[in-house]
Structure formats: structure tokens, C-alpha cells
Amino acid sequence: MFQIPRVITSSLLLGVLALGTISAPAVAQQDEKPLLQILDPEKPATTTTRDYVNVMGRTRPEAKVQVGGKPAKVFATGIFVRDQVPLAMGRNEIVVIAESGTQRESRTLVVERVTKPAAEFSTAPQRLQLDPKSASPTGEVILSPGEELIVGVNGTPGQIAEFRVGKDRWLPLVEQLDADSTTPTGRYRGVYVAPAGVERGPLPLEFRLRAQLPKVSPIRITGPKEVTLATKTKVTLWDGTKVHLVRTRSNEVGLVHGLHEVRLGGPYVCVLPENVVLRVTGKQSGNWHVALTPTLDAWVSEQDVEMLPVGTPPPHLFFTIVSVGGDELSDTVSISYPPTSRVPFSVTPTFGPEGRAQLLVDFYGAHHATTWISHRPTAKAIREVSVEQPAREHVRVKIDLASKQLWGYLTEVTTNSLVVRVRRAPVLADAPASPLKGLVIALEAGHGGPANPGARGVSGSREKDINRMAVDELARQLQAKGATIVEVRPGDSNPTLGERARRATESSATLFISIHANWADQSRGYLRVSGTSTYYKYSFSRDLADAIHTRLLEMTKLGDFGNVGNFNYYPIRGVTWMPSMLVEQAFMSNPEDEAKMLDPEFRATMMKAVVQGIEDWLTAQREAMKAHISEKKE
């Protein structure tokens, strides 16, 4: 069941760190520091193919700097920058001058601009060759009839490339051409469609390269006119007459839509608990191909599941009764879900056609048999529950709320049921008191610990410290409004992302706010990318993130980097028991943004904007609750 532990009080929070404040002794020592250091380019003489160079260095905050005869911006950290200093072809001398009082220092940078080499393509005589390291796919492959497998290999350009599985006929590969020059690249790609028939394998995957006719290819081939490559990949062909099943081995098993890699993982079709049975039709790249319904598939890592014996009957779910009720904290929807029918399911927060909040619970491998949906008066947040079957093997339970705002939800698999718990609205203090009064707010300072410092600022600051200072300031301001704070990453600790999400959920806080600092590529300029942004995963957190984003832009005057939805950072994806969002204060990679984040006064303004944004959103919710109560009375 859901256990709510005691709240972590504000006494566990650290005081504001000293980083970013300049003490009197530090100011007195400024004259002892070098007046001019060049940090980028790292060497006094460099070569580039670009038509510009970015110059960045360190001086004293009060100094004035010129780069190539034009002023460079100098920030409070002492970092100075001039982006995209133009370069002529050949040798360029760029004079950098720093002046402070009567002191003056200069450096001369020599940057040689050279012509970008053309795409490499030689018509000189070559021998046929195939690169074993480039062959794909690798590892074990399993295919059912009709499934496709993309194969590829790199070799001598401009030739005839083919592949085969087992001793079947050779199939063609198509050579990819260079996008700019349209010259052959030697990258050959093709597709294999698994045939119907008896089960076979494991079969070897082979590639073959044959010399093209001299009239067709500009490259003359010397030596053998044909080479083959036998890979270590083995392909097994299933005949399609057997049912193959796997079972999830742990909680939080994610099913993705396709084979890809992104930094934050996902996006996910669903995230499943332990002991859910999945029908699989094949395997590629260490992932099982999952057939959720006849028209919907997914992929799951082989490490997250275990194979069941061939011949195990596949699970199938149907339920005739749905019960809707409630307790002191939440409403509950109970759906029959016995161990023998543990099919995959997903829960999606959204909005119904009338604008009210809605939860969609989708079961894959089920049919509609519900004839009884019991709504008890103990349910306060849920307006109605209905069941429909939108497609074959797909049953949907629609949970319509009475209001436009969903305050959180959780799912729990019991012995014989799937229970969806829908959180009720909190009690908000009446005006003129702040709606934050009496609420519990969970905060996360991103990154942490020696092994996870986060991004590094241009002046050497660490993101984990900037985040820590911001959260401490945010906690102070929220407490001044009457809120109680839960810190999911106290001090310089580094709990796992899953542990951070668990702490937020178990605190039963009303809101979860994560604080980070951004970073962007600097190759086209240190000042090119800047600004503040907010992030959320679920629809019911969108307006909270937007309210904070609006106040950040208004009160800090930072640039706008957007309010970003569908963000898969685990703590805000894993926390569904409350509205949750993430603030990327500004960019560590931008020296101006970095200097602002290190400034205590600017930090206080930025966190005041976060608090004001939360209050704006809560005030709107307070008014909506009053209006809803008035409508019910009428």
C-alpha cells in the first residue's frame, strides 16, 4: 500500500554556499592576479577552416578588454568574450589588450585560416575490402515472418555489394552517396524481410563485394574481383506458429516505441511492474520485439525480462466490474487484474472533450466485458469512469475527473487488482494569505557529489553548486511564505534518480520542483545560446511550468529558451503523485548567464520569480476550486 513517511523538515537544509560571493579579502587580492589570460584559443598559434574564431579569456572584473580592435564583454567573474572574430584566408593576427587603471597587458593570437579539404574520394587503383567492424547488426537476431532487418557494411566505394542470411540467395545492398558531392562513400545498406516457412537457425549473416564494371565505377580494382565477409551475427527465423512469451523481472520496466538511444531514455509506450507477461516476435540489438496488439508494437531490453517456456499460454484480460471509491487522501479505481492475466498496460494523463482532467488506462491483450461500474459517494475527485474497446486486443478505461486539474496519481498492483489512485486537491489557504501557506513542497538540486558535478561553467563553477545555492534560496523564500520543504538531495549527496523520485513521492508533497542549469555547444560562440527555460513531462504539470516560465522571463529579463513538454528527466517523469517540473535557470556555457547565476542578488530575484510563478498557479487553482464549489451548490 501507499505509505506516507514523516516530512523532512527545513532544519535538514544547508545554508547558502559561499561560492559566487566575493569577500573583502578576495577583492584586495585582485591586483595579484594576472591582468590577461587567454583561455580560448588554448594556444597562441592555431589553424582552422572556419571564417571566424571565438576568443575567451580571464581578466579582472573591472578591466576593459579589446579583441582585434573591438571591445569584448567583461563579466563579474572576470571572464571576457568576443564571439566570431572574422578571419581572412591565410595568416590572421589578433591583438588582445586588457587595461585596468594604469596597468596594460596585451597578447597576439595567430590564427591560420585554411581551405576546408574536399570530401575524400580517390580514383586510384584499389583492392576490394570489407570492414568487419562496420558490419551491422551485431549479436543475436530473431525474426518472425514478415519482420524487417536493416543490414549494412562499409567497403571499397563504387562497387557491387550484397548480403545473404544462411545459404539463401544474395540480396542487393545500396550504396549511400555523399550529400554534398554525391560521390560514392563505400557505406552499403539493405533490408532483409524474414520469409515464411519452417523455423531455421541460427544462420550466419554474410556480405559480399564484387568489382563493378570499369565503365560504371571510376575506381579500377586490382587483385581479386570478389571478397566476402562472414560476420559473427547469427539470425534465427521463427516459423510464426508458436507463441513466445517473456515476463518482466522487476518494477519500472520501460517499453519503447523503437530501437534508438536518447540521453534521457524513452519515450515510453508504457512502464510496467514485475511479472507482466509480453508476447514477443523477435530480437535485435539486445531488445525483444513486443507485440502489444495486432497494430501496436514496442521493444524491451532483454535484461529486463526472462523467457518463458515455449507453449506457455499467453495471458488475456477481461473484467466485468470496476469499482470507484475513495479514502481520506484520494479516490481509487479498482480493476480486476489477476496474476494469470498480467497483460501490459499504460496510464496517460490528458484532458477530456469538455476540458476536464482525464486518465486513460490502456490494457493490451484484453477485450471489453465490463457490465458494472460502481461509483460510490466516497469518490470526490472522480466524476465518472467508463470502459471502451478502441481496437482489437485493446481495452481502455477512461477516468474523468470533476475538475480541470489533476493533482497526481499512482498505480498499484495488488493480489488480484490494478488500483489507480487519484489524488484530491489540497486545502489552499484563503486570501489574503499566500496559497503556499501550509503546503509541503519537494525540491531537488540537480546533480551532486564528487562523481556527479554536472556542467562546468566557463569560469570554473560547478553546476551542482549553482543548483544547491538556488535551491537553498528557493527553500528560504518558500518557508517565508509558510510552506514546509522536503529536500530530496540534501547537502552534496548524490542519491540515484530513482531514489530522488521515491523521496518526493513518499513525502506526499503538493508540488515537486527540480532546479538545474543548462549547457550548450560553444563552437559557434559563447554568447550565442542563453536564456531560461522550464520543463515538464505530463499535461497536468504544463500550466505550473508555464506560470513559472512567465515570471522568470518577466522578473529576470533573461532570454526565452522555452517551456518544454514531454521531458523525460527521470525524477519528473517518475513523480506522478503531484505536479512536477524542472527549471533550467540559465546556461553554464554562457559567461553572462553564469555570472548572473553566481550573483546572490540575481539568484534571489530568480528564485523569487519561481515562487511568484507557483503562487500565480496556486491562486488560479484556488479560484477555480471556489467556482466549482459554487456551481455544485447551485
Q: pLDDT digits over 173-201, tens only? A: 999 988 777 788 999 999 999 999 889 98
pLDDT band at 9 (very low <50, low <70, confident <90, very high): very low
**Mean pLDDT lowest for which of 8-17, 72-81, 431-440, 542-551?**
8-17
Q: What is the mean pLDDT of residues 15-32?
A: 38
- Extents of the domains making up the chain: 10-17+429-621, 33-113, 128-314, 321-423
Residue at 231: amino acid letter: T
pLDDT at 20 over 70: no
Domain 128-314 adopts which CATH fold?
Answer: Immunoglobulin-like (2.60.40)
Q: From CA 92, how far away is CA 51, in angstroms rounded? A: 11
- pLDDT for the residue numbered 10: 33
Please give the CATH topology (third level) of the domain spanning 33-113.
Answer: Immunoglobulin-like (2.60.40)
Instruction: Find residue 277's DSSP bridge partners.
Output: 247
The answer to whether the pTM exceeds 0.85 is yes
Question: Quick check: 628 pLDDT over 80?
Answer: no
The class level of CATH for 321-423 reads mainly beta
pLDDT tens track for 457-482: 999 999 999 999 999 999 999 999 99
- Main-chain phi, psi angles of 343, to 5 degrees: -85, 160
At 477, is the secondary structure helix, strand, or coil?
helix
Q: For 481-504, write each residue's pLDDT tens digit.
A: 999 999 999 999 999 999 999 999
Is the pLDDT at 13 greater than 50, yes or no?
Answer: no
pLDDT of residue 543: 98
Q: Do the beta carbons of residue 479 and residue 443 sit within 8 Å?
A: no
Domains 10-17+429-621 and 321-423 share a fold: no
Q: CATH number of the domain at 10-17+429-621, please?
A: 3.40.630.40
All three cell numbers of 564:
518544454
Please tell me what DSSP assigns to residue 147. Answer: -
**Confidence at residue 626, expressed as pLDDT on a 0 to 100 scale:** 87
**Three-class SS state of 629:** helix
pLDDT at 11 over 90: no
pLDDT of residue 394: 98
**Are 41 and 68 in contact, with CB atoms under 8 Å apart?**
no
Answer whether residue 203 shows pLDDT above 90.
yes
Mean pLDDT of 502-516: 97
Contact call for residues 156 and 217 (beta carbons, < 8 A): no
State how far the alpha carbon of 378 is from the alpha carbons of 326, 381, 382, 461, in Å. Answer: 5, 9, 10, 53
